[in-house]
Amino acid sequence: MSDRNPRAASHPSARPTPAARAGKHGRVAERKQRTAEAILEAGIEVFERRGYQAATIDEIAQQADVAVGSIYNHFEGKPGIALALAERALATNERYMAEAWALEASPLERLIAAAGGCVRFAREDPAAFRTIVLPLLEPGRDESSPAQRQVAERVALQLARLESALAGAVAAGQLRPLDVRATARFLWGAWTGVVALGVRSAGGRPGEPQLSERQTSAALEAGLRALLEGAVADRLLTREGRLRAPYARALHRAAGTGQRR
């Protein structure tokens, strides 16, 4: 006969305490979070290496060292991974850009600061930058996907802010009259394109052009300087046709030229 008391199992002291249950739930949540992060990191690597269209769930699962079913449990497949990555990257991007647009300065200085925000975002979180920008360059991308719609909405917001800054600079007499809509699109495309060439080295494919960080900074500053010196009011230029010192310094800081090697 067993010496075990059948009542012991049902005794209150034998049941898990609320603290124990909470601890168990906390550990489960941590494991889920670790798995989700592993899947997202794997998604970044596979999407960069293979492109979104060619990437497969099997490759992502292998990279993350998880079962394929785990991916569907967390993100409902490849589109879900892309959407989660886009949302995370866009939230990071917004923090960088919002600082520039909220700057207590002239419209032209905010415009220059926005270029600097783009550069800092790319340098300090290159994976997030690539998540937003590089899919826009991929042939055959699905522009109707939730991730692409999220990116398109954020690009539209940034373009609207650029247009507002350009229009403000024109109204303040800092810029000559210009087509703010077309100029905003050129600026956004130019500086994100130049910076993209500089961050591809971490996830680029063989044969793709790449710029060093110093080359990226120099290219960005040279391009913006050429545009601004051709578009700003004469009073903001020296007799030699160069930007006056305050704006030249702001541009130099924004591009980060010479700050890092």
Domain with 58 in it: what CATH number?
1.10.10.60
In a domain, 224, yes or no: yes
Helix, strand, coil percentages for the chain (3-state, nearest 5): 75, 0, 25
Burial of 42 (0-12, 13-18, 19+ CB in 10 A): buried
Q: Write down the pLDDT at residue 11.
A: 52
Query: Of 132 and 45, which is predicted with more confidence?
Result: 45
Among 1-10, 109-118, 193-202, the least confident range: 1-10
Q: Are residues 134 and 202 in the same domain?
A: yes
In a domain, 167, yes or no: yes
For the chain, give the percent of residues with pLDDT over 90: 27
pLDDT exceeds cutoff 60 at 135: yes
Q: Write down the pLDDT at residue 232.
A: 93
Q: Are residues 51 and 171 in the same domain?
A: no
pLDDT exceeds cutoff 90 at 174: yes
In a domain, 13, yes or no: no
User: What is the number of structural domains in the chain?
Assistant: 2
Q: Write down the pLDDT at residue 123.
A: 83
Q: Are residues 120 and 226 in the same domain?
A: yes
Q: Are residues 119 and 36 in the same domain?
A: no
In a domain, 67, yes or no: yes
Name the nearest CA neighbour of 220 among 244, 200, 193, 240.
193
Query: What is the average per-residue pLDDT within 227-241?
Result: 92
Query: Of 20 and 28, which is predicted with more confidence?
Result: 28
pLDDT exceeds cutoff 70 at 137: no
| Domain enclosing residue 146, as ranges | 83-255
In a domain, 11, yes or no: no
- For residues 148 and 83, give the distance between their C-alpha atoms in angstroms, rounded to a whole number: 8
Q: Are residues 69 and 115 in the same domain?
A: no
Among 111-120, 123-132, 199-208, the least confident range: 199-208
Residues ≥6 apart with Cβ < 8 Å to 250:
109, 112, 113
Q: Are residues 106 and 226 in the same domain?
A: yes
pTM confidence score: 0.72
In a domain, 114, yes or no: yes
Q: Are residues 186 and 251 in the same domain?
A: yes
Q: Write down the pLDDT at residue 133.
A: 76
Q: Write down the pLDDT at residue 253.
A: 84
pLDDT exceeds cutoff 80 at 171: yes
Q: Are residues 61 and 94 in the same domain?
A: no
Last residue of a domain, one of 60, 76, 92: 76
Domain with 94 in it: what CATH number?
1.10.357.10
Tokens standing for 161?
Answer: 């802010």
**Buried-state track 122-153, b at ≥16 Cβ within 10 A, e below 16:** bbebbbbbbbbbbbbeeeebeeebebbebbee
Q: Which residues are paired to 237 by β-bridges? A: 243
Using one digit for the tens of pLDDT, what is the confidence trace for 49-98? 888 888 999 999 999 999 999 999 998 888 889 889 988 888 998 898 88
Give CA 61 to chain center in angstroms.
24
- For residues 220 and 25, give the distance between their C-alpha atoms in angstroms, rounded to a whole number: 50
Say what angle helices 78-101 and 18-50 make with each other, to 10 degrees.
90
Among 23-32, 134-143, 173-182, 223-232, the least confident range: 134-143
